[in-house]
Amino acid sequence: MKPAPELEALRRSIDDLDGRILQLVADRVKVVLAVGQFKRQNNIAAYDPERERKMLERLCSQAPEPLDADTVRRIFERLIDESRRIEQHSMGKHS
> Per-residue pLDDT tens for 13-33?
999 999 999 999 999 999 999
61 neighbors 6 (Cβ within 8 angstroms): no
Q: pTM, whole model, 2 decimals?
A: 0.85
> Per-residue pLDDT tens for 31-44?
999 999 999 999 99
User: Which class is domain 5-90?
Assistant: mainly alpha
If we measure between CA atoms, which residue out of 79, 77, 88 comes closest to residue 46?
A: 88
What are the domain boundaries of the chain?
Answer: 5-90
If we measure between CA atoms, which residue out of 76, 42, 38 comes closest to residue 58?
A: 76
Contacts with 64 (C-beta within 8 Å, 6 or more apart), sequence order = none
Contacts with 25 (C-beta within 8 Å, 6 or more apart), sequence order = 79
